[in-house]
Structures are given as structure tokens and as C-alpha cells.
Structure 1
């Protein structure tokens, strides 16, 4: 009978408090890790993948390919007559 009472006390009183401490420590460590990841991702000082640019310098990531026609003598598009509708 005494053994049964001790097991019940452990299950209902000691185990939840111990579990609470363990889970609290786990959650706090996960929050700290997520916070550090966020700071590294969005802090412009830690982004070392790209070289620093001077003010006004433009970075071109994509240059479209030239079309089949000779694009050097392109004078503009086709003229479309505009008529105002009231």
C-alpha cells in the first residue's frame, strides 16, 4: 500500500514540476536560438555575402538577352492612334 501511495505522489506532484522545469528550459533555449538566427539574417552588418557598395552605385543582377532583330537600330514601338472617349 505504501508503495502505491509513493508512486501516486510521484506521478501527480513531483513529475509535473520536474517536467515544467525541463520544458521551460527547452522553450527558452529554442526562443534564444530563433532570436539569434533572426538577428543574423536581418542585421545588415553581419551580411558578408555581398561586397560593400558606395552610395549611388547600381547593382545589375539580370541583363535580358538581345532579341532576334537587330536591336541597335530600334527607334521605338508601333504608333497607336489615340482617341479620347467621353
Structure 2
């Protein structure tokens, strides 16, 4: 599930290119990355969660939207350096 969500979040940042370039690379990274992470997780026997856990996705979602706006509105057209 995280791979699908992560891939869906990455695709808008790659939009001004061909569809195969936009979708294929994040999907390939996910297909290769999931077994790699699972293989590493199988080796760990005594892992415990620590630290603060939050239930809110609002702040990271707003940060991702702001970053996407910077990419699409400011960086995509280009910046003229005089």
C-alpha cells in the first residue's frame, strides 16, 4: 500500500514529460524496492517502534502541495538569470 501511495504522490512532480517516463520509473523503483525492503526486514527480529507517533497527515500533505506548486508554477517555466 505505501508503494502505491508513494508512486501516486511522485507522478505529479514528473508531469511535463512523456507518460512512459512519468509512470514507468516510479513503478519500477517500487517493484524493485518492495522486495528489497522486505528482504531487509526479514533479517530483523527484535525491532520496536519508538518516538512520537502522529495521526495527522495534514501538515505533510500541505507541504507536498506547496512543493508541487513551486515545481509547477515557478521551476517548470524556468527562471531567467540576467
- How high is the TM-score relative to the length of structure 1? 0.30
Which structure is higher in helix share?
A: 2
- How high is the TM-score relative to the length of structure 2? 0.31
- Is the radius of gyration larger for structure 1 or structure 2? 1
